[in-house]
Amino acid sequence: MSSSNTSSDEKKAQVKEYFGRTAASYVTSPSHRTGSDLQRLLALGEFAKDQQALDIATGGGHTALAVAPHVAKITVSDLTPQMLKAAEGFLLSQGVDNAEFHIADAEQLPFGENSFDRVTCRIAPHHFPNVGKAVHEVARVLKPGGLFLVIDSCVPEEAELDLFINKVEKWRDPSHGRSHKVSEWQHFFAEAGLQVETQELFRRTHGYDAWTERSQMSDENRLALAKFMLNSSEQTREYFAVTRKADGHLDHFSGDYFLLKGRKSEQV
């Protein structure tokens, strides 16, 4: 096995360990459960009752829950068995009766070519070792004319800001791979033969305490990361809207996110 494959396997093992340990907190997470971005995904998705849909790296299952009423069937997938089990329990408790559940690696989807009308993936690709490979897999399983709708964290084009927020994310969660620039995502789509039809950028504000509690950081690590963020450059603190509480502790910060809608060519 090549060193690159070993590295990828190790990264996926980290992801499975992290989400296996924290699965329940992602089902209840307000930032994953709600958000205007989820409503935009539904508005842009051109969903119809005769369609087959796939939700990749479903996490707590919130995107699958939103899509399910609008399609014939939603296939719900995740790399981590415990996470998929938590999502299945959540969806069934919400009355979803048109879902199938599959353990699946986003970079090696266990589905045939031209299988789905719609593929969704929300707040997950920053965990994938090879995002370009995952996008190629999406294009493979999409039917001609099908849509891929993806939402994830992204980073500014400026190198200092890119390095800062990816370091913060990985410090908080070692299974974090990389949040990419939107320009990189445009390249991934183009390389996979997906035509970008819609691109939207937005911001999310994170309460530091809840954000770090969800990842089960130790108190020592939480304090060290907060100190790093508060001691960053003025430009960095201003860009990410790093704010303090009255007692001087870190209160909130904001991060960049994007939504991309891409269509597979009708000519295959």
Q: What is the pLDDT of residues 212-267, one digit of tens each?
A: 998 889 999 999 999 999 999 999 999 999 999 999 999 999 999 999 999 999 87
Domain ranges, ordered by start, for the chain:
3-152+175-203+259-264
pLDDT at 130: 96
Mean pLDDT value across the chain: 91
pLDDT at 18: 61
pLDDT digits (tens, 9 = 90+) for 78-113: 999 999 999 999 999 999 999 999 999 999 999 999
Q: What is the pLDDT of residue 215?
A: 86
> How confident is the model at residue 20, as a pLDDT?
53
What is the C-alpha to C-alpha distance for residues 179 and 186, in angstroms, rounded to an integer?
Answer: 14
Entry pTM: 0.88
Query: Shortest CA distance to 165 belongs to which of 176, 7, 175?
Result: 176
φ, ψ of residue 158 to 5 degrees: the values are -70, 130
CATH label, 3-152+175-203+259-264, candidates 3.40.50.300, 3.30.460.80, 3.40.50.150, 2.60.40.10: 3.40.50.150
Contact 83, 32 (CB under 8 A): no
pLDDT value of position 33: 52
pLDDT single digits (tens) 40-89: 999 999 999 999 999 999 999 999 999 999 999 999 999 999 999 999 99
More confident residue, 18 or 174: 174
Confidence grade of residue 8 (pLDDT, cut at 50, 70, 90): confident
- Token digits of residue 23: 């699965």
Q: Which of 8-17, 50-59, 98-107, 129-138 has the lowest mean pLDDT?
A: 8-17
Distance between CA 243 and CA 224 in Å, rounded?
Answer: 16
- CB atoms inside a 10 Å sphere around CB 247: 6
